[in-house]
């Protein structure tokens, strides 16, 4: 974990987080990223679930050197249009447990893992790490998604 994040995590009492994960830990992470975002961008108004939803669904062209192989990928490509649903990896086809912490209490419980995944996926999809405000908005959006789609 980055040093600044560790300091902030400590300030916000993250170390006291119990092993039992739930929505509360996702909310704590949302606050943590908000605090970091505001320190970097004082004009940031705070978590915006709508912006997070847009970010989640935003399609970004992955250039493969050959126009016909270019692919449009979004977070939703693997995590599906509804984060309360199970996802499916677009490359390996493997099932991915729902990303919404409301339906999957293992999500957003381990800050190291979350930072790791954000860094990895944001770099893969966007080509750079996501900004703290994007992370706060993203979690805010996931927290609004609590209803898995009806089974087809
Ligand atoms: C190519 C497929 C794929 C795409 C695209 C993708 N992810 Fe993921 N994501 C995964 C997999 C696989 C996991 C890990 C599954 C697990 O731990 O069960 C994961 C897990 C995560 C986690 C971990 C949450 C937790 O606490 O467990 C975060 C955060 C995340 N993804 C964010 C994103 C964001 C943001 C984007 C878009 C910029 C994105 N992902 C796009 C496949 C993908």
- Give pLDDT, residue 117: 94
Q: Does residue 90 belong to any structural domain of this protein?
A: yes
Q: Determine the distance separating the centroid of ligand 1 and the alpha carbon of 65, expressed in angstroms.
A: 25
CA 74 from centroid of its chain's CA atoms: 12
Nearest Cα neighbor of 118 from 71, 68, 79, 67 is 79
Domain of 17, CATH number, reads: 1.10.760.10
Q: Which domain holds residue 93?
A: 3-144
Pocket flag, ligand 1, residue 76 (CB < 6 Å): no
Q: In whole angstroms, what is the distance from residue 38 CA to residue 19 CA?
A: 28
Give the pLDDT score at 144.
96
Q: What confidence score (pLDDT) does residue 5 get?
A: 64
User: Strand 95-96 and strand 60-62: pairing?
Assistant: unpaired
Question: Is 150 inside a domain boundary?
Answer: no
pLDDT of residue 20: 47
pLDDT in tens, the chain (152 residues): 565 665 666 566 655 454 445 789 999 999 999 999 999 999 999 999 999 999 999 998 877 777 777 788 999 999 999 999 999 999 999 999 999 999 999 999 889 999 999 999 999 888 889 999 999 999 999 999 999 997 65
Sign of the torsion angle spanned by Cα atoms 14, 20, 22, 24: negative
**Residue 152 placed within a domain:** no
Domain count, the chain: 1
Check if 17 has its Cβ closer than 6 Å to any atom of ligand 1. no
pLDDT value at residue 3: 56
Does a structural domain hold residue 133?
yes
Quick one: which of 125, 149, 146, 3 has its CA closest to 56? Answer: 125
CA 108 to chain centre: 8
Spatial distance between the Cα atoms of 131 and 118, rounded to a whole number of angstroms = 10
Residue 127 lies in a domain: yes
- Residue 135 CA: nearest ligand 1 atom is 35
pLDDT for the residue 2 = 61
In a domain, 149, yes or no: no
């Amino acid at each position: 974990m980055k040093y600044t994040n560790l300091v902030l995590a400590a300030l916000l009492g993250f170390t006291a987080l119990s092993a039992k994960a739930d929505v509360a830990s996702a909310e704590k992470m949302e606050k943590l990223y908000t605090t970091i975002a505001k320190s970097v961008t004082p004009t940031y108004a705070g978590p915006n679930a709508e912006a997070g939803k847009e970010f989640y669904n935003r399609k970004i062209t992955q250039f493969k050197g050959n126009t016909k192989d270019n692919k449009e990928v979004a977070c939703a490509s693997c995590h599906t249009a509804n984060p309360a649903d199970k996802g499916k990896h677009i490359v390996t086809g493997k099932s991915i447990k729902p990303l919404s912490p409301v339906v999957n209490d293992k999500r957003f419980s381990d800050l190291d893992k979350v930072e790791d995944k954000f860094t990895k996926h944001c770099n893969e999809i966007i080509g750079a790490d996501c900004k703290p405000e994007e992370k706060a908005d993203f979690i805010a959006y996931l927290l609004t998604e609590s209803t898995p789609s009806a089974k087809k």
